Amino acid sequence: MSFWKQAIACLIVLIATAFAWFWYYPGAQDVLARAGIIDPVETSTQNAEGGPQTGRRGGGVPGPVVTAPIAYATINDRLSAIGTGRALRSVTVNPLTSGTLVEVAVTSGAEVRAGDLVAKLDSDAEEIAVDRAVIALDDARATLDRVMALRTSNTVSVVQQNEAELALRNAELAKREAELALERRSITAPIDGTVGILPISAGSYVTSSTEIATIDDRTQILVDFWIPERYADLIDIGSPVTATSVARASSVHEGEISAIDNRIDPESRTLRIEGRIDNPDDRLRAGMAFTISMRFPGETYPAIDPLAIQWSTEGPFVWTVEDGMARQKAVRIVQRNADSVLVEAEFGENDLVVTQGIHNVREGAPVETAGNPANAGAKFANAEGSAT
């Protein structure tokens, strides 16, 4: 086959391909209109008046389309997180000195007050030291009395008087030191609270690092949880919070935010928050898991049917029906949900979006709707979303 015959055959194939694309591709006229090759308004009018058909109903009349009203949904209006509870105050009791445990004065689960005796170490040596310090103090005091009596007659010097006074003060300090050592043989509760399971018993030898007991003040429970950084500027000290026990869904407690960390975790991009809830019946325990819920004003966006979203070289857009005419409106997708897409765009109060029959829609052309658009989009009317 000669060259000119091959060229003619290729040209015929290209023309046929272009005609088929223009005839069957729904967006062909839009592409040509944006390229400035045809006038979209004139083309739509011509087709509506019986001109050349472009994949629509016979006679040049545009086919019907299905529309849906534009609903509105609110996101970022609620927060749900899992937190861990801990006691308002929790103390591990350790002895200040070493020795043999001769008495445990509390039992597991007992309620104690600050200063109550928890356990006692052997104290024979310390009691002897106190008695010795008392004797030394009495002797120093008697010596000073004799020196002061002799001082009136100038029998002793000022230096001897000063030495006697110094000896008395040293004896007083020695007595206080002996009493302190004896006092430390008794282990007392530093806070009010509930005693946990005791890990030791009488007769054990303990040191300053030995755990004698744990005491928890459970009058209130602190709940630690972490939130996404987008909520960081929405939470303040005192903000209300609802904590629901994971183990018992019926156990719901109202509280408030008591502390906010000063930095975002760079690895998880979360912020640590501390909530506080009351525990008047003492049913809550440290270590319990809670579901934390919080509410915020949120951000409201138009919610449209996912079928209405179309794409072009310039990004996503939708077809809207304004006063019976089709208009192409660019949108920015904010969030995709199972039954709706939240977008950022300006819509009129009575605008509708085309969800089906989009191939029948042309810019500026009249639109024929099929069915009741209000019913078609009713399922989106209450589509209020949230991000957690």
User: Does the pLDDT value for residue 269 go beyond 90?
Assistant: yes
* pLDDT value of position 133: 95
* pLDDT value of position 34: 62
User: Does the pLDDT value for residue 387 go beyond 50?
Assistant: no
Q: What is the mean pLDDT of residues 247-261?
A: 92
Indicate the average pLDDT of the chain.
84
pLDDT digits over 289-326, tens only?
A: 999 999 988 888 898 889 889 998 889 999 888 888 88
pLDDT digits over 15-66, tens only?
A: 878 777 666 666 666 666 666 666 554 444 444 444 444 444 444 456 788 8
* pLDDT value of position 98: 93
pLDDT digits over 136-195, tens only?
A: 999 999 998 888 888 777 777 888 889 999 999 999 999 999 999 999 999 999 999 999
pLDDT top residue among 42 and 122: 122
pTM score: 0.64
At residue 358 the predicted structure's pLDDT band, cuts being 50, 70 and 90, is confident
Q: What is the mean pLDDT of residues 345-356?
A: 85
What is the distance between the terminal CA atoms of the chain, rounded to a whole angstrom? Answer: 69
Helix (H) and strand (E) counts for the chain? 6, 21
* pLDDT value of position 76: 80
For the chain, what percent of residues have pLDDT higher than 70?
A: 84
DSSP characters over 39-83: -HHHHHHHHHTT---SSS-GGGPPPPBEEEE-EEEEES-EEEEEE
CA distance 225 to 163: 65
What burial letters (b/e) apply to 164-197, b meaning 16+ CB within 10 Å? beebbeebeebbeebeebbebbebbbebebbbbe
Complete domains list, the chain, with CATH: 3-74+300-380 (2.40.420.20), 78-122+188-296 (2.40.30.170), 123-184 (1.10.287)
- ∠ CA 136-138-141, nearest 5°, is 110
Return the CA Rg of the chain: 43
User: Which among 81, 85, 79, 86 is positioned nearest to 289, based on CA atoms?
Assistant: 85
Contacts 24+ apart (CB under 8 A), 120-125: 120/185, 120/186, 120/187, 121/95, 121/97, 121/185, 121/186, 121/187, 121/206, 122/185, 123/99, 123/182, 123/185, 123/186
* pLDDT value of position 68: 86
